[in-house]
Chains A and B, each alone.
Chain A
Amino acid sequence: MNIFQKGFNYSQDGPGNRLVYHLKGCNMHCPWCSNPEGMSTSVGTYTVMTPSELVSEAISSKPMFFDGGGVTFTGGEATQQSVELAEVLRGLSENGINTAMETNGTYRQLGDLFCWIDHLMIDFKHPLSERHKRFTGLPNDVVKDNIRLAIAKEKDLLVRIPFIGGVNNDRESIDGFLDFFKSLDTDRFRVEILPYHEYGKDKWEKCGLPYAMQHAFVSEDERTKFEQQLMAIGVAVIRT
């Protein structure tokens, strides 16, 4: 498996203290990405681990999985390494290690991995498929399908919305999000709004890539208002 970053963090990508692996490679090209070095193996450095090496490392890390912690996979897009990912998720589950995965939700067979995932985080970037494709390179139909499937399978699901000025903070986009969520069983998932930041800006420059985002910050008021609208339709909103 190609891993461009790993380390522990607390309650940011799943519950408790977690060992987070960032897997290299992504099928989207979001211009606001905070980990551009994870987009492709042709950019930046990475280390290679076999699934069994990763499972061994996770087992040796058990003392640090306190407060319900465990292992989280993110990216890049973790499902770009789906074969190895499936093997390692199974290995972790067999060893009683709590698992979480953050995904952009575009992997058609995502449901095949559900049985080994304790906490699922799906990024939902835009409710309107055409605009989703314009900003990320892919339409959102599979993303929506996977959200529906995770709910149907009663997975612990957190939907994350990167909230970005000029991308998805207009009236039409917000209504689109609300309409989609209203069509779901709102008791079976939570939503987290992640306001735009520029933590990745320097990384883009280090990778020799142009950083195209401008005027994308959203205000705290906008965020709060969006959260209130979500709560008004019965969606549980969290902040981590």
Chain B
Amino acid sequence: MYTAQSVTALAKALFKEERAKQRLDGWFLTREIVCNKAEELKGLSKELRAAKELEAIVKELPLSISDYALFAGSQSDAFARSYALINPAFQVETFSGYCDPTAVYGDIEPNEEFTKERIERVREFSKNTAYVKRLSAMYDRFDPYTEEVAFFIEQVTGHIIPDFRPVLKHGVKAILDELVQRMENESDPYKRDNYQAMTIALGCVLTLGKRYADLAAKKAAAAEGERRSEFKYLEKTLRKIPYNGCETLFEAIQCYMLLWELMCLEQAPNPFAFSVGNADRVFEPYRAMENLSREDAAALLKHFLVFFNVGDRSWAISQNLIVSGRDEKGNDLTNPTSYALLDAYFDMNLPQPILSVKLHQNTPVKVYEELGRFFFSPGVLTPSLFNDDSVFELLRARNVAEDDLKDYSVAGCQEPLIMGKDNGNTTNSWLNMPKILELCLNGGKSMITGKVIEETAPVDSVTLLKNIRETFYTTCEHYVDLMCEAANGASKAISELPVPFLSCFMGGVSSGYDMRDTEHQGTPYNGSGCLIHGLSVMADSFVAIDKLLAERPEDADKLIEALKCDFVGYEDLHAFLKAAPKFGNNIAVVDEEAAEIANRISDMVAAHKNYLGNPFRADWASPTTHLTYGYWVAATPDGRHAREQLNYGVDPLYGEASGGMGFRILSNMKLPFAKMGGGYASHLGIDPKYFTADTFEGKGTDFANRVIKPLFFNAEMKDRVSPFYLYVNVTTPDTLRKVLADPKKYAPNGVYIMRIHGTFVNFLDLSPAIQQDIIKRLDPHSTEM
């Protein structure tokens, strides 16, 4: 019925249609439906209430199928036009996080249909929910610390990798049957209640499928020729799945999309960073059942990729697909669908979903060859790269079972979680070490605003500087205590919004508990994330202080004054501090300092327990918060100016690693990656001129041999855990400036994909501040080869 070419043409038309959407109102409708149901659902347990709310949403939400659609399903009703990075109004100066859950109501433009009064009514309802009240109380209580970001906390939505494989294989009916059995055998009324909620929630996907089947029938009746047959086939598929298991790739993709749509609706608005996991392994059995060719499989998967793009700027950000990788014994798991997915990604070059590739010691050369076209085609997406050999060690240290290792994937950006089993609350807490250092140096008072955050006893400057490390670590411990208490408070607030549907795919059917339950562990693995900021700024600062005390002790008491006035009038001291050794140049004293900080702070974070008594996970990533948090940090002893960005992830501060790629990698390799259980971030901006092979395949293998293998699979690292994450932008600052100056010439279709932390984005969609950050952090001297 279809050809690969016709399927591809439909996918491209579908994407074009989606990008023309200027309004996203569906999420509001979901909230309004919940608001309207509130009175009727009063008195139910929160889990049952959540299930009934979802039931109402699925019954009442307007649905449609595009003329260009091959499959039914959309994420457009779950996301608002909110995400800061791609919002042209974003400014570093005014960004204050996503802590107000009712702020989203400001992201919908009132019109005749969605009047101001209508929006305000639902906002007021939302404000009075138990969730918003608990969360607001927590933010109010910790506001003195979060206002200038000594730390930050947030309630975590999305950021999960559901395991839909059982439904694809056996159909929803199998899980419904299991739930019936569990209810019959369960005496605990709380669990029985949860099972009932899960049963209702799971039934919602059948309702969704039926509504789409009816729509497909209508479309078929109105269509002619091939299109009619196609809609009939869609209807037939939707009458079969998701109740029954899948037998073709088409059925599997359709089934997956329905489940995903419902999962997002359950958490609307803005459940960012849900991830598919190893999409190649999820879909390969169904491709293989019909022995579909790579080309035909790629064509179908293009529609799957379009599904992840929402609205005019692809607002559903940070949804991640991963391919390739190994099992626990070291066997490579790359399969034909891995390559089909790469083809689909390359041909479509969409701003979402994010592509990641798992690598290991025995990754086939073919994988590297196939990746060459991504790295070396200007404006084309580039995958982030994971080192399975290291991640497996990390997960073993987190007591992950051997059988589960291969099922790790990344939630959103770079946080490794086990598919279907791990609730990592990855973005729960955020620690700003340089701000804490500032407070240590200034008696607990902000050098930016003069506000007292927590006053400390006065100490003379020289004594303070001599003891700065222990003062910092002691103070940091105190702030981490507060941060974790606040973060746990946010997790308890979000537990007011159970997710019975998602819980079915996160171990809830076995455990009997909702995955957001803060009293009982609903998922096999659980933890809470802490994103730690400013590693190299801290290391560089400690070493600069040492140098000052050793070489210019007479100037020691000038340092704090110099920091307060951002070195104005202290230019000589500033030059001295800037000349101190900096992380990223393979200089032992400062690299070892960075390793020590990473060790101690990781241990400090991991010693803190979340709401279920599980450790917080140290995540050394700064997803653009190196900008927003840096804005609240005064000048630092390394010579960094006030309000300048912090270093990104575990990377050197831009401009400070001037010795090129080799030295930079050597510094990086000294860090204790085994302690970075929550992940970390690192980026290299690489000039394509260093790779001179004639073909993409050749450039791909050169890239593997000269960048990836030395970093990930270095024989000299045999006794230690090697780096395990990297993303790259293979371009130059000049090229990007040209793209901005003349987008029509360099990106005629309006899309020029760049990587920014864990996600990739259309460079042209970004706010100017973020565009400039990308250009700045290419930092070409740090990657000279």
Contact = CB atoms under 8 A, between A and B. Distances in A.
Interface string B648-686: 000000000001111101100100000000000000000
Interface string A45-72: 0000000000001001111101100000
Interface string B688-725: 00100000000000000110011000111100000000
Contacts of B663: 7-8, 61
A62 B666 CA distance: 9
B784 A66 contact: no
A66 B710 contact: yes
B747 interface: no
A62 B706 CA distance: 14
B17 to A, nearest CB: 46
A116 to B, nearest CB: 22
B785 interface: yes
Contact of A7 (B662, B705, B715, B717): B662
A10 B709 CA distance: 14
A61 B666 contact: yes
Interface string A99-129: 0000000000000000000000000000000
Given A17-B710, A60-B586, A64-B710, A8 B785 contact: yes
Given A8-B785, A10-B785, A61 B662 contact: yes
Contacts of B9: none
B588 interface: yes
Nearest to B659: A7
Interface in B182-215: none
Contacts of B665: 63-64
Interface in A1-36: 6-10, 17, 19
B716 A62 contact: yes
A63 B659 CA distance: 16
The interface centre, meaning the residue of B662, B665, B716 with most chain A CB atoms within 10 A of its CB, is B662
Contact of B586 (A9, A17, A61, A67): A61
A6 B586 CA distance: 12
A63 B785 contact: no
A67 B710 CA distance: 10
Nearest to A66: B710
The interface centre, meaning the residue of A6, A7, A19 with most chain B CB atoms within 10 A of its CB, is A7
Contacts of B706: 10, 17
Contacts of B669: 63
A64 B662 contact: yes
A17 B709 CA distance: 12
Interface in A169-215: none
The interface centre, meaning the residue of B586, B588, B666, B717 with most chain A CB atoms within 10 A of its CB, is B666
The interface centre, meaning the residue of B705, B706, B717 with most chain A CB atoms within 10 A of its CB, is B706
A17 B662 contact: yes
A201 B706 CA distance: 29
Contacts of B586: 57, 60-61
Contacts of A61: 586, 662-663, 666
Nearest to B667: A60
B18 to A, nearest CB: 43
A64 B705 CA distance: 11
Nearest to B710: A66
Nearest to A57: B586
A152 B716 CA distance: 36
Contacts of A7: 659-660, 662-663, 784
A6 B666 contact: no
Interface string B133-170: 00000000000000000000000000000000000000
The interface centre, meaning the residue of A7, A17, A61, A63 with most chain B CB atoms within 10 A of its CB, is A63
B710 to A, nearest CB: 5
Contacts of A63: 665-666, 669, 710, 714-717
Contacts of A9: 785
Contacts of B661: 8
Contacts of B785: 8-10
Contacts of A67: 705
A58 to B, nearest CB: 10
Contacts of A66: 705, 709-710, 714
Contacts of B714: 63, 66
B708 to A, nearest CB: 11
A17 B660 CA distance: 13
The interface centre, meaning the residue of B586, B665, B690, B710 with most chain A CB atoms within 10 A of its CB, is B710
A60 B715 CA distance: 14
The interface centre, meaning the residue of A8, A10, A61 with most chain B CB atoms within 10 A of its CB, is A8
B666 A60 contact: yes
A17 B706 CA distance: 8
A10 B716 CA distance: 18
A61 B662 CA distance: 8
Nearest to B781: A7
Nearest to B691: A10
A201 to B, nearest CB: 18
A66 B663 CA distance: 14
A6 B659 contact: yes
A7 B661 CA distance: 8
21 contacts: A7-B659, A7-B660, A7-B784, A8-B663, A9-B785, A17-B662, A17-B706, A19-B662, A57-B586, A60-B588, A60-B666, A61-B586, A61-B663, A62-B716, A63-B666, A63-B710, A63-B714, A63-B716, A64-B662, A64-B665, A66-B709
9 A-B pairs with the lowest CB-CB distances in the bound complex, closest first: A8-B662, A63-B716, A7-B660, A64-B662, A63-B714, A66-B710, A62-B716, A10-B706, A8-B660
Given A63-B669, A63-B710, 10 more contacts: A7-B784, A8-B785, A17-B662, A17-B710, A57-B586, A60-B586, A60-B588, A61-B663, A63-B714, A64-B666
